[in-house]
């Protein structure tokens, strides 16, 4: 064996890879684990606070979640919350704001009222806010530039005093710091080690990076859009393609909203509706977004990866059929065109403002600016076999000692739940013990061990 041999190697130092590294160190008797990160620090891409909305997605105000999905997401979100509270990270990693889903106009108001009734049993803390309530707790959504009440019927469902916001880069750092404190096992991290090739020889995986060579008994690839790229290089997941969706933001020049304000999502659209959020990294100033724009690259604000995109897309008639089915719907077609225009200088702010004023009717062009350097890439998966766009997370478990995870939203929220799924499989595959009791005692809100974690 080479000097760089480990029981498990995790590829990718975002919040998903860091969470898995932590769980392997804390809750198993695996003796040696390693994390390989392409860049010089953790969470430099999509898990960075500037690349996402910093939201804990627990399903209470996300109107695109069914009740069943909300139950799963709530469970994994509570793991992140409990972890942070156990370590005293309040106000450092995890933050509390008010939050709400806003309905504007008769149809949306009716929808919010019905959804509130349906979801109240799962989230007992939920409140229903009338226009009068909103004028007191979130006045910016009610009053226009002349300080008059907006004329539309309006209602919101939401909560106060709940943990709503996470700095996912700080969370990643904490996972690694706490793992490195473990004394009785090897826990190594190698930065600036981009994985170029993975080969299985016998029962051992050989990993070639830009800096060195490593071997492992088991490998988990948590490398964002590059997870599928590496899977394809090994001949796995060839029925999938990757559609990289870039999300951009507009930053207000001050704090406009007191908390998170989400909109009702058009059920035809595969991406989240516009929302406004206090940015914990910019003094609580309000950030609006994200937009949704397809970019032919796998990493935002990094040179290269264009060729990687075309290799991962694997363009064929199935992909063309998926695009055709999406774009033949006028709602989706108009949405795609509008989001493209949101990126065009000189006209983008004026167009974006038309949508943002649905949240804050008093908003003007002077209040916001395009947030340069903000936003990330959400790798949406194309299921070529069934000719459809897959929403949410995807995982390719080969059953051969290697797993490839693609974790767009709510992947950061679900990082500990997804890691649990992988840890259980790794221990079963390699014959190690997973300390289930300790995991559930420390991270799970209820006592029902093994009750339907994130699939």
Q: What's the CA gap between 175 and 166, in Å, rounded? A: 14
- Domain ends where: 107, 132, 160? 160
In a domain, residue 130? The reply is: yes
CA–CA distances in Å: residue 100 to residues 51, 171, 259, 352: 22, 24, 8, 21
Same domain membership, residue 258 and residue 117: no
Same domain membership, residue 244 and residue 155: no
Same domain membership, residue 264 and residue 144: no
In a domain, residue 260? The reply is: yes
pLDDT < 50 positions in the chain: 1-2, 447, 449-455
In a domain, residue 453? The reply is: no
- Entry pTM: 0.94
Domain count, the chain: 2
Token pair of 219 as six digits: 């490998």
Token pair of 145 as six digits: 């530039």
Same domain membership, residue 293 and residue 423: yes
Instruction: Write down how long the chain is.
Output: 455
Same domain membership, residue 263 and residue 185: yes
Q: What's the CA gap between 76 and 410, in Å, rounded? A: 10
pLDDT value for 450? 45
User: For residues 412 and 16, is the Cβ–Cβ distance under 8 A?
Assistant: yes
Query: The domain that contains 266 carries what CATH number?
Result: 3.50.50.60
Same domain membership, residue 156 and residue 261: no
Same domain membership, residue 143 and residue 166: no
- Domain ends where: 160, 184, 213? 160
Same domain membership, residue 226 and residue 156: no
Same domain membership, residue 412 and residue 323: yes
In a domain, residue 19? The reply is: yes
Token pair of 449 as six digits: 């061990």
User: For residues 227 and 382, is the Cβ–Cβ distance under 8 A?
Assistant: no
In a domain, residue 451? The reply is: no
Same domain membership, residue 84 and residue 62: yes
- Judged on CB neighbours under 10 Å (0-12, 13-18, 19+), 227 is buried
In a domain, residue 452? The reply is: no
Which of 203, 335, 209, 194 shows the shortest CA–CA distance to 272? Answer: 335
> What residues are paired with 6 via a beta bridge?
216
In a domain, residue 63? The reply is: yes
pLDDT value for 3? 64
Range of the domain at 405: 5-97+161-443
Same domain membership, residue 378 and residue 313: yes
Q: What's the CA gap between 173 and 15, in Å, rounded? A: 8
- Domain ends where: 139, 160, 181? 160
pLDDT value for 269? 79
In a domain, residue 454? The reply is: no
Q: What's the CA gap between 418 and 438, in Å, rounded? A: 17
**CB burial string 135-144: b at 16+ within 10 A, e below:** eebbbbbbbe
Nearest 5°: the CA angle 447, 397, 194 is 110
pLDDT value for 268? 78
Same domain membership, residue 170 and residue 151: no
């Amino acid at each position: 064996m080479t000097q760089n041999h480990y029981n498990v190697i995790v590829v990718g130092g975002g919040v998903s890879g860091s969470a898995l590294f932590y769980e392997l160190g804390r809750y198993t008797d695996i003796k040696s684990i390693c994390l390989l990160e392409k860049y010089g620090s953790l969470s430099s891409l999509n898990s960075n606070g500037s690349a996402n909305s910093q939201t804990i997605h627990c399903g209470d105000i996300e109107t695109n979640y069914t009740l069943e999905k909300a139950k799963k997401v709530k469970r994994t979100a509570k793991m992140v919350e409990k972890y942070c509270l156990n370590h005293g990270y309040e106000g450092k990693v995890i933050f509390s704001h008010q939050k709400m889903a806003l309905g504007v106009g008769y149809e949306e108001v009716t929808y919010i009222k019905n959804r509130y009734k349906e979801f109240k049993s799962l989230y007992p803390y939920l409140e229903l806010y009338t226009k009068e309530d909103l004028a007191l707790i979130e006045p910016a959504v009610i009053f226009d530039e002349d300080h008059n009440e907006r004329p539309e019927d309006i209602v919101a469902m939401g909560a106060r005093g709940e943990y709503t916001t996470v700095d996912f880069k700080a969370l990643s750092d904490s996972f690694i710091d706490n793992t490195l404190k473990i004394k009785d096992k090897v826990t190594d991290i190698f930065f600036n080690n981009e994985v170029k090739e993975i080969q299985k020889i016998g029962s051992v995986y050989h990993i070639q990076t830009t800096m060195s060579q490593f071997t492992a008994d088991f490998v988990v690839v948590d490398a964002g859009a590059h997870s599928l790229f590496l899977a394809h290089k090994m001949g796995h997941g060839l029925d999938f393609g990757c559609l990289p969706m870039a999300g951009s933001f507009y930053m207000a020049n001050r704090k406009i909203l007191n908390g998170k304000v989400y909109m009702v999502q058009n059920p035809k659209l595969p991406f989240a509706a516009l929302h406004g959020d206090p940015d914990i990294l910019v003094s609580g100033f309000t950030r609006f977004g994200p937009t949704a724009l397809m970019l032919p690259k796998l990493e935002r604000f990094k040179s290269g990866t264009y060729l990687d995109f075309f290799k991962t897309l694997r363009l064929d008639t199935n992909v063309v059929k998926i695009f055709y089915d999406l774009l033949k719907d006028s709602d989706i077609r108009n949405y795609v065109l509008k989001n493209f225009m949101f990126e065009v200088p000189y006209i983008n702010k004026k167009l974006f403002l038309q949508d943002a004023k649905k949240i804050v009717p008093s908003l003007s062009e002077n209040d916001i600016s395009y947030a340069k350097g903000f936003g990330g890439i959400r790798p949406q998966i194309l299921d070529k076999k069934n000719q459809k766009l897959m929403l949410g997370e995807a995982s390719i478990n080969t059953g051969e000692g290697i797993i490839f995870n693609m974790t767009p939203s709510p992947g950061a929220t679900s990082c500990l739940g997804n890691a649990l799924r992988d840890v259980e499989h790794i221990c079963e595959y390699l014959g190690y013990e997973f300390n289930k009791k300790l995991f559930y005692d420390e991270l799970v809100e209820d006592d029902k061990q093994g009750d339907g974690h994130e699939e």
